[in-house]
Amino acid sequence: MSGARAAAIIKAERMSGWQWLAVGITVGLNALDGFDVLSVSFAAPGIAGDWGLDKAALGWVLSMELLGMAVGSLVLGGAADRFGRRPTILACLCLMTVGMWGAAHAPNVDVLLGWRLLTGLGIGGMLSSVNAATYEVVNDRWRSVAMSVMIIGYPIGGVIGGLVVKQLLIHGHWRDIFMFGAVTTACFIPLVWFFVPETVAFLERRRAPGALERINRTLARFGHGTLDALGEVQTAVKHSFTDILRPGLLRTTLLITLAYFGQIMAFYYMLKWVPKIIADTGYEASTAAGVLVLANLGGALGGLLFGFVAMKVPLKALTIACHAGSFVMTGVFGMGFVGLAALGLSAGASVFFATAAITGIYMLFARVFPTHVRATGTGFALGVGRGGSMLAPVLAGYLFEAGYGLQTVSLAVGSASLMSIVALLFLKAADHAD
């Protein structure tokens, strides 16, 4: 093909098996993120018992990798736009593997915090890189479904990991949770190396030496026609981090960041505190982990349904509706129904809507930022927004320690979803022209 744009070919042509394989691996990568983040939630009762931590101190343990995620999203999201999605993903996998391995061998809480911070750096960079890679490897027809399937990898990781953790906690130790995470994360390094090529949208935009050959190899692998030359309309773009803060994108950047900040607070309050809340009612740690598994099943279902509904319903309106559902169901969970089944169902419903809402925001990330700053913009929003994810467990810990009840804490933290709704109402959510 002469004069065609490689990215346009990917958008217009049918999806091949190799493309779906790449999407499947990104689902697995997001599942790793889901398990790695939740691993400390699963381990929290054991950590608190071994080292005698109160709830305020435990809140910092639950939040430390979230601080790393904030920094990783800001720094490594930009790296994905500069060096490529694939090498950034590989580097993040290495950081996550080392961090999880170190956490398994931490002799005290201070060292554990350091390893969790390193793990968070890798997770933060992974989230922004995988989001951009998935968006750029699929065609227009299946984009909303592929993006939602990728995003629900996160709760799927919590579900599968939780089932494993239940067995580990019956006969093992909380350190075994981190060991399992380290080994599983390391196994994904060769999968990405061999089966996830650099996206043609990135290669076409950067136009580095050998770009045409690399683009054609990927197009041929995906079963599409190759190019005789890069399209004349495509010019090299020099970008910087400040592009997302310039007049053309500043409003979008601030609003989408605020929306993510609010919703992630409600989301991580549930994911981080559910095991400890259940354990405090008298159930075993393995049983508490099972409730978190149920909550993540709700999240997986919510994200998957969101993708299919988004094929027919306007994305922004659907996302706002899910934010409202998240607020309501977090309040319902806070009512503290008696019985494990009732607690599990209310937690699952809350995470169902929270995950659906976050799925919508991730789709909006990829839609409102152009290719040359797609990972940078996503990384910025994730990085700043992760302040919300870090704030939620810490705030909840201090509120619990101060004597406030479950309903008050749930409503206080869950109300951040209302702030997200306001931000989304002012966001222009049309596709950004590259």
- DSSP character string of 257-294: HHHHHHHHHHHHHHHHHHHHHHHHTT--HHHHHHHHHH
Residue identified by tokens 């869950």 is 414
The answer on pLDDT for 304 being more than 80 is yes
The answer on pLDDT for 1 being more than 60 is no
User: What is the rounded average pLDDT of the residues 288-316?
Assistant: 83
Question: What pLDDT, on the 0 to 100 scale, is given for residue 3?
Answer: 42
Tally of helices (H runs) and strands (E runs) in the chain: 17, 0
Question: What pLDDT, on the 0 to 100 scale, is given for residue 431?
Answer: 52
User: What is the rounded average pLDDT of the residues 20-25?
Assistant: 94
Q: Where are the domains of the chain?
A: 6-425
The answer on pLDDT for 433 being more than 70 is no
Query: pTM of the prediction?
Result: 0.75
The answer on pLDDT for 237 being more than 60 is no
Least confident range from 25-34, 40-49, 237-246, 274-283: namely: 237-246
Listed in sequence order, the residues at least 6 apart from 151 whose beta carbon sits closer than 8 Å to its beta carbon are: 30, 303, 355, 358, 359, 362
pLDDT-derived band at 19, boundaries 50, 70, 90: very high
Percent of the chain with pLDDT over 70: 94
pLDDT-derived band at 182, boundaries 50, 70, 90: very high
- From CA 21, how far away is CA 192, in angstroms rounded? 11
pLDDT-derived band at 234, boundaries 50, 70, 90: very low
DSSP 199: P
User: What is the rounded average pLDDT of the residues 178-192?
Assistant: 94
The answer on pLDDT for 128 being more than 70 is yes
Identify the residue with better confidence: 57 or 430. Answer: 57
The answer on pLDDT for 235 being more than 60 is no
* Dihedral sign (CA 237, 241, 244, 250): negative
Residue pair 126/329 in contact (Cβ under 8 Å)? The answer is no
Long-range contacts from 316-320, C-beta under 8 angstroms, 24+ separation: 316/360, 316/364, 316/424, 316/427, 316/429, 318/360, 319/357, 319/360, 319/361, 319/363, 319/364, 319/424, 320/421, 320/424, 320/425
pLDDT-derived band at 239, boundaries 50, 70, 90: low
Question: What pLDDT, on the 0 to 100 scale, is given for residue 196?
Answer: 92
**200-215 pLDDT, tens digit each:** 888 888 888 888 889 8
User: What is the rounded average pLDDT of the residues 231-236?
Assistant: 50
CB atoms within 10 A of CB 60: 17
Rg (CA), the chain: 21
DSSP 432: P
User: What is the rounded average pLDDT of the residues 300-325?
Assistant: 90
- From CA 134, how far away is CA 132, in angstroms rounded? 6
* CATH number of 6-425, picked from 1.10.260.40, 3.30.450.40, 1.20.1250.20, 2.60.120.10: 1.20.1250.20
DSSP 398: H
